[in-house]
Amino acid sequence: MKLYKRKYNLIILILAIITGITACEKDVILDLASIEGNYVIVEANLIDDGSRQWIRLTRSSSYYDVTTGDAVQNASVIVQGNNQSWTFSELFPDSLPGYYFNSQISSALIETTYELNIETADDKTYFAQSELRPLPELDSVTVKLNPFSELAFFDITVYDVIAHFEDLPGIGDYYLFNLFINNKLITPRPSDKSPVSDENLESYSSLAVLSLNEEDIAPGDTITLEIRSISKEKFDFYNIFFFQTDLSGNPFAGAPPANIPTNLSEGARGFFQVSALNRKTIIFQPPL
């Protein structure tokens, strides 16, 4: 499914207008296969919506291997905070190896700091912290025609999904937007999502956060926009991930290669984030 991010539309426009540019090339040989199995990869995004939460542990795979690394099983996975402790357990070790679940933590999450502790079967330990930050309510969600579609720049019609909300007082809040169509997440990859800083937001914002094309939606479909509170480090994680993947090799990306941030200790990769969450749902009708 092809998605368009409004904030990258200018890059798309420049790339479409400027053609025939050939980047300088130089052969570089890297031993990228040597990372296989050397790192524990942690996927831990906990939310306060009351649902069963999961944490995924895998091993790093070779750069040339298109499959996910081996699952990390038989680990001790514990989250602590607010004077409570929650153990995440492998409920489906055969069908979902490396996934650890807990059904109690989500409804107990409050605005405080949480700690993730992992001990693997080979006695390696990893640690991370995350603060659950406050989150504004989504007042409403609307859909409008993307300005470039109005100019017939795209071959297909593109719609912008607009979030309307009152930002929290002060500066220093960060949000993440996800998009669902008919209850199916269509922003699964980190580079699909829309991270937003409140640094340049008005006290009340109507912000184009994500976009979709006419091939992916039909009149009467259900659109659900989700907003999560995230940390500054997680905000940087998503932005750097995008520039290191989707814009890799783009001469207009403007940023040199950098390590993708992590808040895990002892050389583990990935991220531990605890988020407040709310959603708003509408029925799609093409804007006039």
Average pLDDT on 101-128 reads 97
Domains of the chain: 3-18+134-251+276-283 (no CATH), 33-131 (2.60.40)
> Which is it for strands 174-181 and 40-47: parallel, antiparallel or unpaired?
unpaired
Q: Calculate what percentage of the chain has a pLDDT beyond 70.
A: 77
Residue 91 to residues 70, 84, 103, 206, Cα–Cα distance (Å): 18, 21, 11, 42
Confidence (pLDDT) at 200: 86
- Tell me, what's the pLDDT at 17? 39
Lowest mean pLDDT among 16-20, 131-135, 156-160, 191-195: 16-20
Global model pTM greater than 0.85: no
pLDDT at 115 over 90: yes
DSSP label of 236: H
Torsion of CA 194, 181, 218, 164, to 10 degrees: -50
Among 97-101, 197-201, 242-246, top mean pLDDT goes to 97-101
Looking only at the bridges linking them, the beta strands covering 40-47 and 269-275 are parallel
For residue 8, give the amino acid letter.
Answer: Y
pLDDT digits (tens, 9 = 90+) for 15-52: 443 444 344 444 444 444 445 568 999 999 999 999 99
pLDDT given at position 68: 64
Average pLDDT of every residue of the chain: 84
Q: What pLDDT, on a 0 to 100 scale, did the predictor assign at position 22?
A: 42
Task: State the average pLDDT over residues 127-155.
Answer: 89
Cα–Cα distance for residue pair 21/193, rounded to 1 Å: 29
Which residues 6+ apart lie within 8 Å of 217 measured at CB?
159, 181, 223, 284
Q: How far is CA 177 from CA 55, 66, 104, 158, in A?
A: 20, 27, 25, 18
User: Tell me, what's the pLDDT at 190?
Assistant: 85
Work out the average pLDDT over 88-92.
97
Residue 100, token pair as written in the block? 């650890």
The partner residues of 58 in beta bridges, in order of sequence, read 41, 71
Residues 6+ apart with CB under 8 A from 187: 3, 177, 178, 179, 193, 194, 210
What gap in Å lies between CA 117 and CA 88, rounded to an integer?
10
Residue tagged 């719609």 (tokens):
159
